[in-house]
Amino acid sequence: MSQSLNYAFIGCGMMGHEHLRNLALIEGSNITAILEPDAAMRASAAKLAPKAHFATDLDAMLARSDIDAWVITTPNYQHADQLKQLFAQSQRPILVEKPACTDPADILALHTLAAKHPSPVWVAMEYRYMPPIAALRAQVAGHALGAVTMLTIREHRFPFLEKVNDWNRFNRNSGGTLVEKCCHFFDLMRLLLHDEAVRVYASGGIDVNHLDERYDGETPDILDNAYVIVDFASGKRAMLELCMFAEGSRYQEEISVVGSAAKVECQIPGPGRFWPTATLGPAPIPQITLSPRHPQGPQLQEIPVDETLLAAGDHNGSTYYQHVGFRHAILEGSPVEVSMNDGLRAVALGMAAQASIEQGCAMRMTDDGFSFVAA
Ligand SMILES: NC(=O)c1ccc[n+]([C@@H]2O[C@H](COP(=O)([O-])OP(=O)(O)OC[C@H]3O[C@@H](n4cnc5c(N)ncnc54)[C@H](O)[C@@H]3O)[C@@H](O)[C@H]2O)c1
């Protein structure tokens, strides 16, 4: 019988539901409390977590004695304040959805508070755990590539989905597209290159999506396409190409890492629920290709994702693997794999990229990696 852990959710919308479905696959996971102001989300969350108590505010949640770990899945702009309240009033482990914050002024404070927290604090950057990305990481960690020099991440996907109260339509709520979703990719850059960024240059715009939408008369201001170039301390370089009106693609993410001896690529499809199986047949399977220079000859390998995990979310099984890691960190003291330091550095890179576009110049990261100035 597995040791049981009682989770409490702060916010339980689309991503909260994905966390609930994945925790349901991990024996010993109980959902004891959920704070969710939206009635429709409460109703559907109750079907996934029938034993959960629905609280009316965070103070009432904090008064409960049946919570072993917190999961924050509220809109981005709320994370920093909710984290600060948990740091002040609870000693329990915390898993917070990315981005950890949306205001540069919160970065150092959260870093300090997380470092003092007596139990694991984990930022949900689960792209690391997608099986094809895990396979890519293994290749990069091996010797096949030689000296790694270049990393390119291309994401060609569907536009931002509709969210509760449309919070994701404005930079002030999400932190901006390059913070909101692309912090995942800046995290991958740091992880794959084992290095820290020193300079960021970006070009981006709002050219296709959301232009006809109005919210209380206001037009969304979120980027729908961008290029970002990141220079790393050792001289390695990375590039992100983001396009959010390209869901016709076979693969959503295409990542390549090139070294002196070989290149490795991985190709990852988007959420299976968006693939038109009726006309195109089964959804594409993730794949990884190793292409040595000598002797030439690309070696392609399919990396299928377990069907149960695919059905539990939109992220190729990664939310499941992340929760397994979080559980081990809580129960066995294994290391936190995505720390607040990682989460905040990825956010700072996204903020630097947003600032680069707004100011029309490159940004130099400061030595601590948490802020930036015009280069
Ligand atoms: N890791 C990933 O790949 C990934 C993917 C999608 C979303 N996310 C993140 O998950 C978070 C939630 O996004 P989503 O897509 O689920 O949005 P959503 O709008 O579907 O869900 C947010 C939920 O929070 C609730 N909420 C709002 N204010 C609240 C409050 N004060 N207290 C408690 N609940 C509150 C809303 O009613 C809503 O149900 C965001 O931070 C987003 O960036 C991460």
Pocket test of ligand 1: the residue of 74, 215, 274 to mutate, having most ligand atoms within 8 Å of its CB, is 74
pLDDT of residue 59: 96
For 248-267, how does the pLDDT look when each residue is reduced to its tens digit (9 = 90+)? 999 999 999 999 999 999 99
Interstrand relation of 148-156 and 121-124 (parallel, antiparallel or unpaired): unpaired
Q: Quote the ligand 1 centre to 273 CA distance (angstroms).
A: 20
Domains 5-126 and 127-313+339-374 share a fold: no
**Is 179 near ligand 1, meaning CB less than 6 Å away?**
no
Length of the chain: 375
pLDDT of residue 2: 78
pLDDT of residue 126: 87
Give the CB-side neighbour count of residue 320, counting CA atoms within 13 A: 21
Which CATH architecture is the domain 5-126 placed in? 3-Layer(aba) Sandwich (3.40)
For 118-141, how does the pLDDT look when each residue is reduced to its tens digit (9 = 90+)? 999 999 998 999 999 999 999 999
**Is 16 near ligand 1, meaning CB less than 6 Å away?**
yes
Q: What stretches of the chain adopt beta strand conformation (E)? A: 5-10, 29-35, 53-55, 69-72, 94-97, 121-124, 148-156, 197-205, 225-232, 237-243, 253-259, 262-268, 287-292, 299-302, 363-365, 372-374
- The answer to whether 286 and 252 have CB atoms below 8 angstroms apart is no
Interstrand relation of 225-232 and 197-205 (parallel, antiparallel or unpaired): antiparallel
Structural tokens at position 209: 């999506």
DSSP 337: S
Name the residue at shortest CA distance from atom 6 of ligand 1: 15
- The answer to whether 151 and 121 have CB atoms below 8 angstroms apart is no
pLDDT of residue 1: 58
Pocket test of ligand 1: the residue of 12, 15, 18 to mutate, having most ligand atoms within 8 Å of its CB, is 15
Place of tokens 């009316």: 56
Secondary-structure class of domain 127-313+339-374 per CATH:
alpha beta
DSSP 75: -
Helix, strand or coil for residue 198? strand
Name the residue at shortest CA distance from atom 23 of ligand 1: 13
pLDDT of residue 209: 98
**Interior angle at CA 353, CA 347 and CA 354, nearest 5:** 90
For 334-347, how does the pLDDT look when each residue is reduced to its tens digit (9 = 90+)? 999 999 999 999 99
- Which ligand 1 atom sits closest to the C-alpha of 315? 3
Domain ranges of the chain: 5-126, 127-313+339-374
- Which ligand 1 atom sits closest to the C-alpha of 41? 39
**Rounded (10°) angle between helices 14-23 and 318-332:** 60
Low-confidence spans in the chain with pLDDT less than 50: none
Q: Quote the ligand 1 centre to 113 CA distance (angstroms).
A: 23
**CA-based max dimension of the chain:** 64
Closest CA to 256 of 155, 374, 105: 155
Structural tokens at position 25: 């696959």
Q: Quote the ligand 1 centre to 36 CA distance (angstroms).
A: 10
Q: Quote the ligand 1 centre to 98 CA distance (angstroms).
A: 10
Residue 85, CA distances (Å) to 70, 74, 89, 264 in order: 12, 14, 6, 43
Q: Quote the ligand 1 centre to 35 CA distance (angstroms).
A: 12
